[in-house]
Structure 1
């Protein structure tokens, strides 16, 4: 059975919306996009590289897959993220995408996220990494499918924006498997489901 490992950037007040760009995710009038800028350092790069060094496949929700596809699919810049993501097998869960031809090695999973990902998780293959894709993460958490969470906890509050766990979530206990603080005050915490 494959494991599902999630990596998300989050504020102290639980906001996960619009980390990278001002226009990244403006749903519900969110105008604080780009809040994660200025927090990267060598410690964060090293920790993220550790995750990319393990073999595995990637799992995305539609919005994040489309955003990443636009940003990464045509790149040949030698960036370690490019070298990891483009050749990786990428599964995208969507009820609305016509196909997943826009990014090499992508496979479209149609239907309910909980059902299609449960089938994928039960099949033989590499572990699955989720970066972002908050709506998908919520669905997978509600279905009891998440195994590990890596949270990059940024030292700021926003007061508004989409939270990681909005609405009902099942009681799930996690153990802290490790943590490291960056020079910019971001706490990178690795949790494993008990």
Structure 2
């Protein structure tokens, strides 16, 4: 059975984007780049919502990305990717499949088969949807050392209490970022 991991960066006050949907506040330093290289080496299928897919596609296949972050850019390009969208008919990024229709049923079916695990990158609305359905096994949350005061919270409006167990902590000393990994509590 496949597992699903959510990878999201948030602020100290729990927002993954500000009121204007801006995420430019996130710190993209050398330590985060190294962490991204390690995560992408796992070979998981990358899962995006349409908005995050478009944001990622606007950067990672470019020469600027290849110059700044060559290993991450190559792994993003080569990775198998899925974009969840009922409005997108086809994806243009290399190795990308579009999932539409009943997303919950499709993800349940995908999880029940053997194969690569899935990692949701950002995509707050997809995290929210799959959290409510109980389909995410692990949450990796990168906390930036700043507060926005307002924005969109990752777990705002979830229907059921989400009990998690701390699995790992990683600190990036240069940026002050902390990465917390939680697993779904079996109890």
TM > 0.5: yes
**Contact 1:15–1:163, Cα closer than 8 Å, also in 2:** yes
Q: 5 Å matches for 1:1-194?
A: 1-17=1-17, 30=20, 33-36=23-26, 39-75=27-63, 77=66, 79-100=70-91, 102-183=92-173, 184-194=175-185
CA-CA distance at 1:33 after TM superposition: 4.3
CA-CA distance at 1:135 after TM superposition: 0.4
3-state DSSP of counterpart to 2:152 = coil
3-state DSSP of counterpart to 2:139 = strand
TM-superposition CA deviations, 1:74-118 (whole Å, max 9, x none): 548261111111111111111100212x10111111113322222
- Taking the aligned partners of 1:176 and 1:31, their CA distance within structure 2 comes to 28
**Contact 1:113–1:136, Cα closer than 8 Å, also in 2:** no
Task: Give the total of aligned pairs.
Answer: 181
**Contact 2:33–2:72, Cα closer than 8 Å, also in 1:** no
**Contact 2:36–2:72, Cα closer than 8 Å, also in 1:** no
- Taking the aligned partners of 2:123 and 2:83, their CA distance within structure 1 comes to 10
- Taking the aligned partners of 1:4 and 1:121, their CA distance within structure 2 comes to 8
**Any gaps of 5 or more consecutive residues in structure 2?**
none
TM-score, structure 1 normalization: 0.85
Q: Displaced runs of 4+ in structure 1, greater than 6 A? A: none
3-state DSSP of counterpart to 1:86 = helix
CA-CA distance at 1:124 after TM superposition: 2.1
- Taking the aligned partners of 1:33 and 1:174, their CA distance within structure 2 comes to 25
**Any gaps of 5 or more consecutive residues in structure 1?**
19-28
3-state DSSP of counterpart to 2:17 = coil
Task: State the superposition RMSD in angstroms.
Answer: 1.9
